[in-house]
A and B are shown apart, each in its own frame.
Chain A
Amino acid sequence: MKRALAGVVAWAMVGTLLVPTAWASLGSDSASVEADRVKMQGTLQSRTSEAFTVHEIQVATGTAVREYVSPAGKVFAVTWNGPFHPDLRQLLGAYYDQYVQAVQAQRASRRGHGPVTIQENGLVVQIAGHPRSFSGRAYVTSMVPSNIHLDDLQ
């Protein structure tokens, strides 16, 4: 999966190309990536393939955040890996409250602790790992370009 992507994309520093905006992220315009970088106090690298552009934010806490932007200019997916969660309210943006409500609604049938798998109303959120090693991914199904294989998003 990672290999397939690496073959068709090239990393390039951006940084000044994007204009900061207010509160944003999943489901928002690509400009919201810079707002996330500022909020998370990270460094940003971006790369573009035919199918999408990936912006990777290296957060100072050691966690890596990736935001996937479609040719239509929308952040259709976000992923993260690292010892601590990134600011999920910032990263999931307008979808954060839906995520929180879905987690709480699922509790009774979940019957214990384990990874998060939310699939509802077009929002998919998966969070797994344990303290000191978390990973997660979230996407909005209606915004995912049709030629993307979701397992490619890491």
Chain B
Amino acid sequence: MKSSRQKNRRLAFFAAAAAAAVLTLGTSGCGSSGSAKSSTVTGGGGGGNGGGGGGAAVANTQTITVNTGPAASPPTNEPFVNGAFTSVKVCAPGTSTCQTVSGILVDTGSAGLRILSSALTVQLPQQTNSAGNPIVECLQFLDSITWGPVEMADVTLAGEVAKSLPVQVIGTAQFPNIPMACSSSGPPKEDLAGLGANGLLGVGNFAQDCGTACTVTGPANPGLYYACPASGCAVTEESVANQVKNPVALFETDNNGVVIQLPAVTGAEASVSGTMTFGIGTQSDNALGSATVFTIDPNTGDFTTTFKNTTVDKAFLDTGSNGIFFLTSSVTGLPECTDMPFFYCPTMTQSLSAVTKGSNGATMTVNFTVANADSLTANVNNAALQGLAGPISGLFDWGLPFFYGRTVFVAIEGKSTPGGTGPFWAF
């Protein structure tokens, strides 16, 4: 076990980057280095209810619930709003040593499963490179980074299994020292209070969290993956195959995307439940039907949205954003809340519309509301808030309120569906 890690040295970046390191998966089993967790067998469980598919089809649907989340309870006392939570079953690869982890935030804005070390009791093998050194990831989010080792797991969602899936474990005792280059992208989210969830389930349009950018050496490598021998961590290249992956892309069937369904919400409600269904057009319960397909930029994952006379090409659907964040007060005419400048606070609820447009030319007028955030959040027991919105310059972030009352299809890059090849959204 590596108990002490030195901070990354910048010079080491180049040395490590220059050294070829063909990664090998952590096949050394549960006894591999870097884990001091006790192993607990809880078995069974799975993440959800039975699927809607007919006949012998794999159960492909599980429940997602919008509630205040696992951080709402003492001692953290930080209730989440507009977060859709679910459960995942993680097993040491090829074994029945498993744990079902609840309170996992469903995130169509990212790719890959990330679990807090504090929520994980099952021992998972560490991914190592060809030199036997552990691989540790620094993933960039908007206001933060997540830092922790890449470990291997068999991950079950409904009846679907992603075998030997690389996942990130956040906030482990084995790798406490975050390299300077990593912490220069923002403060770490490394515990329940910081993350607001026991983990993130990234089921967006990308099949893995970095792509080819992380496979190169030198300054073009964005520094998401590190090799961490006892002497300290240094940025390393990471093959696409070994990167932390969208688990859906690794399912044997129903692996071309997900369908998110949530009920309509009026004002502020305590909690609502919906479904996450795997596959698009693969079973009777995930047909595209009359949904409109919006293809998106394959590099950025964005499409276009026009509000009044302002068009932005950085628009996206993101269950992981807790409001609809768009443009600025000077464009929308909506006042910011005085105590919370990141939310809008119109005196009366506004009914608005915007036009979404895919790179395939498909367009649709989307109606939405913006309510007073001070009023919406007044009762801290309410987690499902229709109309929660806020300003952000030059973007249109269709967060969870967009999903209320809709069926939204998220197709994964390179995967075939009856609506064409991903990546796309359909609704």
Report how far A114 CA is from B78 CA in the complex, Å.
16
Report how far A117 CA is from B220 CA in the complex, Å.
29
Which chain B residue shows the least CB distance to A42?
B219
Q: Is B282 an interface residue (CB 8 A)?
A: no
Which of A60, A100, A119 makes the CB contact (< 8 A) with B220? A60
Assuming the contacts A85-B185, A111-B80, A116-B142, asked whether A129 and B340 have C-beta atoms less than 8 A apart, the reply is: no
Name the segment of B40-48, B89-97, B168-176, B312-320 touching the other chain. B312-320
Give chain A nearest CB distance to B277 CB in angstroms. 22
Assuming the contacts A84-B213, A115-B390, asked whether A109 and B339 have C-beta atoms less than 8 A apart, the reply is: yes
B299 and A132 contacting across the interface, CB-CB below 8 Å: yes
Assuming the contacts A113-B322, A115-B325, asked whether A130 and B110 have C-beta atoms less than 8 A apart, the reply is: yes
Report how far A133 CA is from B111 CA in the complex, Å.
13
Q: Is B221 an interface residue (CB 8 A)?
A: yes
Which of A41, A85, A100, A130 makes the CB contact (< 8 A) with B219? A41
Report how far A107 CA is from B195 CA in the complex, Å.
10
B342 and A114 contacting across the interface, CB-CB below 8 Å: yes
Report how far A115 CA is from B395 CA in the complex, Å.
10
Which chain B residue shows the least CB distance to A92?
B184
Q: Is A46 an interface residue (CB 8 A)?
A: no
A117 and B187 contacting across the interface, CB-CB below 8 Å: no
A132 and B211 contacting across the interface, CB-CB below 8 Å: yes
B300 and A115 contacting across the interface, CB-CB below 8 Å: no
Which A residues lie within 8 Å of B185 (CB)? 85, 87-88
Which chain B residue shows the least CB distance to A112?
B322
Q: Is A50 an interface residue (CB 8 A)?
A: no
Q: Is B83 an interface residue (CB 8 A)?
A: yes
Which B residues lie within 8 Å of A96 (CB)? 184
Q: Is A9 an interface residue (CB 8 A)?
A: no
A103 and B316 contacting across the interface, CB-CB below 8 Å: no
Q: Is B290 an interface residue (CB 8 A)?
A: no
Assuming the contacts A84-B222, A107-B78, asked whether A130 and B301 have C-beta atoms less than 8 A apart, the reply is: yes
A129 and B395 contacting across the interface, CB-CB below 8 Å: yes
Which B residues lie within 8 Å of A116 (CB)? 142-143, 342
Report how far A138 CA is from B339 CA in the complex, Å.
20
Report how far A35 CA is from B111 CA in the complex, Å.
34
Q: Is A154 an interface residue (CB 8 A)?
A: yes
Which A residues lie within 8 Å of B183 (CB)? 89
Which A residues lie within 8 Å of B390 (CB)? 114-115, 117
B399 and A128 contacting across the interface, CB-CB below 8 Å: no
Q: Is B154 an interface residue (CB 8 A)?
A: no
Which chain B residue shows the least CB distance to A96?
B184
Which B residues lie within 8 Å of A16 (CB)? none
Q: Is B397 an interface residue (CB 8 A)?
A: yes
Which of A84, A128, A132 makes the CB contact (< 8 A) with B301? A132
Give chain B nearest CB distance to A12 CB in angstroms. 24
A61 and B213 contacting across the interface, CB-CB below 8 Å: yes
Which B residues lie within 8 Å of A60 (CB)? 218-220
B78 and A128 contacting across the interface, CB-CB below 8 Å: no
> Which B residues from 102 to 160 make CB contacts under 8 A with A?
105, 109-111, 139-144
Which chain B residue shows the least CB distance to A81?
B314
> Which B residues from 285 to 325 make CB contacts under 8 A with A?
299-302, 314, 316, 318, 320-323, 325
Q: Is B236 an interface residue (CB 8 A)?
A: no
B184 and A131 contacting across the interface, CB-CB below 8 Å: no
Q: Contacts A61-B220, A83-B222, A113-B322 given; 4 further ones with Cβ under 8 A?
A: A112-B321, A115-B321, A130-B318, A135-B395
19 interchain pairs (CB within 8 A)? A41-B219, A61-B222, A84-B140, A100-B186, A103-B144, A107-B78, A108-B78, A109-B339, A111-B81, A111-B322, A111-B377, A113-B322, A114-B342, A115-B325, A116-B142, A128-B395, A131-B209, A134-B142, A151-B328
List A residues at the B interface (Cβ < 8 Å).
Answer: 41, 60-62, 83-85, 87-90, 96, 100, 103-104, 106-117, 119, 126-135, 137, 151, 154
List B residues at the A interface (Cβ < 8 Å).
Answer: 78-83, 105, 109-111, 139-144, 180-181, 183-187, 193-194, 196, 204, 206, 209, 211, 213, 218-224, 299-302, 314, 316, 318, 320-323, 325, 328, 330, 339-342, 377, 390-395, 397, 399
